[in-house]
Amino acid sequence: HDCDNDMTYCCRKLLAAKLWANDNGGQWRHGVKQKNLDLLCVSQFTLYGKLSKKNQPDYKMAMKAEPAETMYAAFLKMLKDNYDEEKIHDGVFGAMMDVELVNDGPVTIIIESAPSPPEQDQTPEIDDE
């Protein structure tokens, strides 16, 4: 149930996340923009996988491929519009990819927009007393 507001929130948080040391060695002081770094974005629906009762992967919580690809492309465009288009990179949506990297950590940060509050039930409560 993701929407444009969720993408905007995640884009803003990702570009502002202070994950690197500053020039004086102070940890968690600089973000991607301050360090003039490149970003590699990789779509990964498997993050929403759960194990079924049969211990098999279940991806029912993940968005369906077609709307997910459209939203992912919009997210990449949003990153490019809010940073440097030449510094935003991505893989092939839905493809099996081998990604080789050096992980500066170990640190894992999950950026997820806050869920919308549930709609209030408009049915009046009936007191049985």
Active site residue 46: yes
Contact present, 71 and 7 (Cβ < 8 Å): yes
SS (H, E, C) the chain: CCCHHHHHHHHHHHHHCCCECCCCCCCCCECHHHHCCCEEECCCHHHHCEECCCCCEECCCCCCHHHHHHHHHHHHHHHHHHCCHHHEEECCCCCCCCCCCCCCCCCCCCCCCCCCCCCCCCCCCCCCC
Q: Which of 46, 70, 108, 123 is catalytic?
A: 46
In DSSP terms, 41 is beta-bridged to: 90
The residues annotated with a catalytic role in the active site are: 46
